[in-house]
Structure 1
């Protein structure tokens, strides 16, 4: 039986904060692997996201070099809105012997009671919730949350997109190979 961490998101673009969260969860919870799950259409975002082919290529570049990080295209291939319940249901069907742990930031932990089919989802996975300084999350009754301390890293994909659009440096926010891909494809510019 493997213990597999799952980190979902648009990864538009994937940044060093995503990688630090994945590695901290892997180490703190003794996970065998962490799978990155780019969403096709995130249920909680209304803005258009960058084409999935670009986001897949960027995640692939970001995790290259860490054999314990994997790219899963389950949500991309399914198309439509990417609900975590649907993803976990399918993963448990495909890998019934494995344990899955869904990795979340503190802000998402507090929103868990509003997630699609949260009661059924809680039977399929445990959640790894990252604590942030100055941010308290509440433990929802219906779910198991494993709290993990997070080093303070204040990077977001939206901040990176904005900096690129303003022709500002994103060095040290992204893996160099992701930065080069964005420049090569002209992503996030007007």
Structure 2
């Protein structure tokens, strides 16, 4: 059994097939038994989300219901205050003891790492896996580039030999789907089917999320 815990955080506003395909591919490449998608409760870098945290959590649970190898971690939704990843990783580290913890994030998020709360502390708590799509490009500030360079892992297996502190890039399939586009389609009365799970779309329609009438 692989003792590592992998976490893929995001607003998932709403969750769509781009998120799910990336999670499936990275989970398979890491070969971890515990792969979690973690919705942000109060994202510190966004003034508002399109849907309340409990709706985003419910949609993610619906999306993952058919896939027992992918689970939802609710801790940021349940925790009060801004959802700082460093605090989340401290919580997960306490539960994981000395087992590897892996934070999975997209290249765009990694490019913004210098703006994260106590970002250097992340490397004491977890490995970083950057999910790279074919057209994504690293644009790291100098401080981040200097921090990442000596931490590069030559193989995915190397992440399993230490609890934290290494960095690895993993390629994922490019799916031109975005939550922003889905929200815009819904607000305009257009149909976003086949961009996200049918169960999620049914939930959105039931609760009047994102459209001009439902808010």
Q: Name 1:156's counterpart in structure 2.
A: 178
Aligned residue number for residue 32 of structure 1: 33
- Following superposition, the deviation at residue 17 of structure 1 comes to 0.8
- 2-structure distance, mates of 1:15, 1:119: 30
Work out which of the two has the higher radius of gyration on C-alpha atoms and give 1 or 2.
2
Q: Give the whole-Å Cα distance in 1 for the aligned partners of 2:103 and 2:45.
A: 17
Structure 2 match to 1:130: 131
CA contact (8 A) 1:16 1:174 kept: yes
Greater shift after overlay, 153-162 or 94-103?
94-103
Instruction: Output the TM-score relative to the length of structure 1.
Output: 0.93
CA shift for structure 1 position 114: 2.9
Q: Distance in 1 between matches of 2:71 and 2:92?
A: 14
Residue ranges of structure 1 left out of the alignment (5+ in a row): none
Please say if residues 4 and 100 of structure 1, whose CA atoms lie closer than 8 Å, have aligned partners that are also in contact. yes
- How many residues are treated as equivalent by the alignment? 190
- Mapping for residues 6-17 of structure 1, pairs under 5 Å: 6-17=7-18
CA distance in 1, matches of 2:56, 2:197: 14
The answer to whether the 8 A contact 1:113-1:140 is kept is no
Shift of 1:97: 4.1
Q: Give the unaligned 5+ runs of structure 2.
A: 149-165
* Alignment of structure 1 residues 16-165 onto 2, 5 Å: 16-137=17-138, 138=140, 140-143=145-148, 144-165=166-187
- Please report how far the alpha carbon of residue 28 of structure 1 lies from its aligned counterpart in structure 2 after TM superposition: 1.4
Q: CA RMSD in A?
A: 1.6
Output the CA distance in 2 between the equivalents of 1:53 and 1:114: 26
TM-score by length of 2: 0.83
